[in-house]
Structure formats: C-alpha cells, structure tokens
Amino acid sequence: MQDISELRKDQLDALRELGNIGSGNACTALAQFLNRKIDMDVPRAKILPLNEMSSLIGGPEEMVIGIFLKVMGHISGRFLLLIPETTGVRLMQTLIPGCTVMTASAMNDLEISCMREVGNILAGAFLNALSVLTRTPMLNSLPSMAFDMAGALIDSVIADMAAVSDHVLMIETSFIESNENLKIHIFLMPDPNSLGQLLDQLGVK
C-alpha cells in the first residue's frame, strides 16, 4: 500500500466528501437529540504529521473531553470526539434535567454515561451514512470517555496506527451551535490497512 502521505488530491477530495456525508448525518442526529439547530463546518480531509494533530484544538496540554470509539467491520478505524469542557458541561445541562455540574472533572456516573451516549449517537449516525455510501457495513464499538490533556488522549488513539507512517489521515469537522457556543470536533481515522479498500469503494483507488 502507498504511504498515507502520498495520497493524491482526488483521493483526498473523495475522503472529504465522505466526511461531508457522514458529518451531515451526525449533525442532523445531534440537532434532533438536542432539539435545536446545529451548524456544521466544512469537513476537511487532512494528512497531518503526528505532532500536529493536537495543535488543531489548542495544543497538547489543552484540557478536553475525549470520547473514543473503534470502527469495526471490513473497513476499520478510529473515531474520536474532542469536546471542550464548556461544551461538555453545556451538553450535560441540556440533556440531564436538574444537572448542575460545572466542571468535567466533577462528572458523576450518569453524566459520564450521558457524554458517552452523545459519542455513540454521533458515531452511529456518521458511520451509518458511510456504510450506505461505501456499501460496506461499519459498526462502532462501545464508547470510552476521558477528560485530560488533548495530546495525551490523541497519542493513545493514534499510537498503533502510526507504526508504519509518520502521518495520520483524518477527516475532521466541527459542529457549532452559535447561541450557546457548543463546539464538538470529530476525527475519523481509517486504519492504514483499510485505506486501500475504502478508496476502492469510493472509486479512487
């Protein structure tokens, strides 16, 4: 297989379109779940050196909520949501009646479970759209959540994808709810071994 850093422009365009369709579906799901209007950034398909990923969300020491899911099926990969603390608190207050949590480190079991469910819904909606588009079933694992430094969350997600390449391919977008300043970053990273098949399904092998 070619190295990730050698992907062509038409291949990246196809992956971005994939991101567009997946994010669109996830955005609709989030809007329905929260019962409010959510806007979506134009998705990007990027090839990044390992160390630049955390710079996308404020540097390696930026404290964020991370929700991690594995993508399973013929095409496998990683799905990571990075959510600023203010957004996380806002989401919990919206979704849990009477919730008064103010910081991510003070979250109780119910609140953690609620955040994981947000991850579950977004990943499920995203991957559903991709399954239809690529005619390949893709499922997400149970979500796992942590609140810590962005760099630390990212390195544990990308470590074993980085064995052969010093670059990571990611499809990235963010959701914004302007009035309340909700911001959610979504990263989808296909496993290097699945990339060929994914490009094949998209007709840009």
Partner 1 sequence: MPEIYPVGMAEMRIARDPDVLAAYGIGSCVIVAMYDPKTKIGGVAHIMLPDSTGISQERLNPRKFADTAVPLLFQTLAHAGCFKTSLIAKIVGGAEMFPPNEDFTNNIGTMNTKAAIKALGKLSIPIAAQDIGGRSGRSLEMKLDSGRINLTVLGESVKEL
Binding interface with partner 1 (CB under 8 A): 3, 50-51, 54, 59-61, 63, 66, 68, 70, 72, 105, 141-142, 144-157, 159-160, 162-166
The tokens for 5 are: 């850093």
Task: Report the nearest approach of partner 1 to the CB of residue 59 (Å).
Answer: 8
Task: Report the nearest approach of partner 1 to the CB of residue 39 (Å).
Answer: 29
Task: Report the nearest approach of partner 1 to the CB of residue 202 (Å).
Answer: 25
Residue 68 to residue 120: CA distance in whole angstroms: 9
DSSP readout, 129-198? HHHHHHT--EEE---EEEEEEHHHHHHHHHGGGGSS-SEEEEEEEEEEETTTTEEEEEEEEE-HHHHHHH
> With respect to partner 1, which residue has the nearer C-beta, 10 or 52?
52
> With respect to partner 1, which residue has the nearer C-beta, 42 or 164?
164
> With respect to partner 1, which residue has the nearer C-beta, 3 or 10?
3
Backbone phi and psi for residue 7, each to the nearest 5 degrees, phi listed first? -65, 145
> With respect to partner 1, which residue has the nearer C-beta, 2 or 32?
2
Task: Report the nearest approach of partner 1 to the CB of residue 156 (Å).
Answer: 4
CA distances, 130 to each of 21, 48, 61, 191 (Å): 7, 22, 32, 15
